[in-house]
Structure 1
């Protein structure tokens, strides 16, 4: 079975920022044996000055099953642009948006279901930062 590609997308003011959030999420997700078996994780870290159409081309070229965006006040306009186009161009891809600042809101996600479900059985699980 081919592994599903999960791409963590971190768009920050400075491209040289350590992608801490995606590292934490990867480590947390891989605690679930089923997730570790069926997923491969990669990161795309870019600065906000990167032209948005260049970013879109790079995201499309990644051809991931799941795109996970780290959202912040300073990147939401760009994230909305990219997610809107990815949703139209890659209708089977899952798009996950999250923020590291949220604590104690929502229910913990069912990780095996979120990461391993086929596109046709996509759930509306709302991950929390727990």
Structure 2
């Protein structure tokens, strides 16, 4: 993570992370999921990968440039169908991983020039292979 500063090393006084609105910021979120091939066609252990980036090369400028990658291992009950296991590992695993990244970013930025920044919430239900197997989001 780096703070957005000008060529002379000065911070931009117009950027206030405490009241920062994410509208217009290009937030990149890349995801991947996999299972060890030794589990065959009936996996219960999955690995999820999550990359969160804000490059500040286009769109609204964020107080910090971010590039965070997290890998998590998720175990799912063998009592569930194979498709449901993968969907739960994907959606819940990514949600938990993103929550950890969100906390990490807030924690690290609280020690930086502009102060703490909290990433916006993200919903990973669209990542499920079979969306109908997951409950509808509640409001």
Q: TM-score normalised by the shorter chain: which range applies?
A: under 0.3
TM-score normalised to structure 2 length: 0.27
Name the structure, 1 or 2, with higher relative contact order (CA <8 Å, separation 6+): 1
Higher Cα radius of gyration? 2
